[in-house]
Amino acid sequence: MTPELMIKACSFYTGHLVKTHFCTWRDITRTNENLVLADKMNRAVTWYSFRLQKSVFHHWHSYMEDQKEKLKNMVLRIQRIICCHKLTVILTKWRNTARYKNKKKEDELISKHELQLKKWRNRLLLRGASAEKSNFPEQSSSEVSLVDETLECDISQLPERAILQIFFYLSLKDVIICGQVNHAWMLMTQLSSLWNAIDFSTVKHMIPDKYIVSTLQRWRLNVLCLNFRGCLLRPKTFRSAGHCRNLQELNVSDCPTFTDESMRHISEGCPGVLYLNLSNTTITNRTMRLLPRHFHNLQNLSLAYCRRFTDKGLQYLNLGNGCHKLIYLDLSGCTQITDSAMEMLSAKCHYLHILDISGCVLLTNQILEDLQIGCKQLRILKMQYCTNISKNAAERMASKVQQQEYNSNDPPRWFGYDREGNPLTQPDDITSSKGRLELTVEKSTYSSEEEAA
């Protein structure tokens, strides 16, 4: 054997030995890696299952907590409903019992008075028959007996509701006279509900300012409606109306002494006014600035024949909270109003149902377009003697409202101005028709109020 062969044999043996050991080591290594990888995979699967279970448990726990909270709230709500139902049942039974007792008491009083009245009539018939038989028609004795018997039937014993119903038919003058009959009648005239609405216009020529101030001071918490229409009073007397905190309706139309200062005191003291009639007064832009500042719930406003405020004053109604709840607005006879003021007004008064612009000779067809855009709920529109509004525009507007009054004739002479808004120079014609003017304004105002209601 040669050395070369020996070297080749050794090299082959060494390579074969290395190859055998390397393959064995590689197989062992691969087996270990597979085992580690399988172990890691098992651990990963176990960890993922644990996290999944934890997440599911967390959601389930949150759901159960929400259900418990809902169940708790439901139980509390059911308890409140049961409690409210029990209270409702108790109050209903108490109210029915109180009504029954009150009605029974009233029926007893009414039957008692009816019995007394029947006895009184029978006695009168018997006395009349005995007087005819005896032929002694003594007038004085019959009058005395009549007075004696009527005293037995005293209306002060009637229920308060019946007394109020009787006195509601009387005017303020008659109520004052009734209060001077005797002490019992005076107490009946002092019922608080009888002074919820006071109409001083019926006694404007006979009642002094001092009595008006004292009356308003005494019943300031009960007065809801005040009517000073046509009263010639001092400004201090008008200020006393500002003490009526619960006032809801105020009528100072045709009051020549009513000023902006009087309106300031009333607006500061009576913020709950719903109906306000300022027609034919001397108010200016100062009053128009006060209205949106204090009367946020104002629904009915009459400014008829108030010619001292300007377009700027009418635009004040849109400031701040403004008079955006207006349902009825009367601007008849306000010759100074132009389209610019009405455009601003129609853009804010979306709830306006009734609008009266009769005699506003400066308004044109543009106002009708603004009303169609801003006042979607307008139902009644009055445009008498609007000379600058065409007939075609009025006919187009008639399809948008339920009722419309329109003519383009010249204003009557008793309006006091011509078709351009300039005052007339013949005072005789105006004075002679003043009564008709007041009657027309009153009729228009009250008819519009009924329609609004």
* 359-402 confidence digits (pLDDT tens): 999 999 999 999 999 899 999 999 999 989 999 999 999 999 99
Q: Is residue 288 part of a domain?
A: no
CA 381 to CA 154: how far, in whole Å?
52
pLDDT band, residue 256 (cuts 50/70/90): very high
Q: Which domain holds residue 29?
A: 8-99
Q: pLDDT digits over 398-423, tens only?
A: 999 999 999 988 888 877 777 777 78
- Is residue 259 a contact partner of residue 230, using CB atoms and an 8 Å limit? no
Q: Is residue 81 part of a domain?
A: yes
Per-residue confidence (pLDDT) for residue 392, from 0 to 100: 92
* Residue in 277, 270, 194, 182 with CA at minimum distance from that of residue 230: 277
* Residue in 260, 265, 267 with CA at minimum distance from that of residue 285: 260
pLDDT band, residue 149 (cuts 50/70/90): very low
Q: Is residue 105 part of a domain?
A: no
pLDDT band, residue 114 (cuts 50/70/90): confident
| Most confident of the following: 27-31, 154-158, 345-349, 352-356 | 352-356
Per-residue confidence (pLDDT) for residue 282, from 0 to 100: 93
Q: Quick one: average pLDDT of 240-263?
A: 93
Q: How far is CA 411 from CA 347, 358, 415, 431, in A?
A: 28, 9, 6, 16
Per-residue confidence (pLDDT) for residue 135, from 0 to 100: 52
pLDDT band, residue 277 (cuts 50/70/90): very high
353: pLDDT strictly greater than 50: yes
Task: Report which secondary-structure segment, H or E, holds 8.
Answer: helix 3-134
Instruction: Tell me the backbone φ, ψ of residue 379, rounded to 5 degrees.
Output: -115, -35
pLDDT band, residue 133 (cuts 50/70/90): low
Q: Quick one: average pLDDT of 89-112?
A: 88
319: pLDDT strictly greater than 60: yes
Number of compact structural domains in the chain: 2
Q: pLDDT digits over 229-248, tens only?
A: 999 999 889 999 999 999 99
Q: Is residue 28 part of a domain?
A: yes
128 or 330, which is more confident: 330
439: pLDDT strictly greater than 60: no
Point out the domain boundary residue: 99, 125, 143.
99
Q: Is residue 228 part of a domain?
A: no
CA 336 to CA 315: how far, in whole Å?
13
* Residue in 366, 373, 368, 330 with CA at minimum distance from that of residue 350: 373
Q: Residue 157 in 3-state DSSP?
A: helix
What percent of the chain stands above pLDDT 90?
48
Tell how far CA 258 is from the center of its chain.
Answer: 26
Q: Is residue 364 part of a domain?
A: yes
Q: Is residue 73 part of a domain?
A: yes
pLDDT band, residue 434 (cuts 50/70/90): very low
pTM of the model: 0.61
Q: Quick one: average pLDDT of 436-452?
A: 37
Point out the domain boundary residue: 56, 79, 99.
99
DSSP for 26-43, written as a single string: HHHHHHHHHHHHHHHHHH
Q: Is residue 241 part of a domain?
A: no
State which amino acid sits at residue 374: G
- Which CATH number covers residue 359? 3.80.10.10
Per-residue confidence (pLDDT) for residue 441, from 0 to 100: 37
Q: pLDDT digits over 151-197, tens only?
A: 445 677 777 777 888 888 888 888 888 888 888 888 888 888 889 99
Point out the domain boundary residue: 76, 99, 122.
99
145: pLDDT strictly greater than 70: no
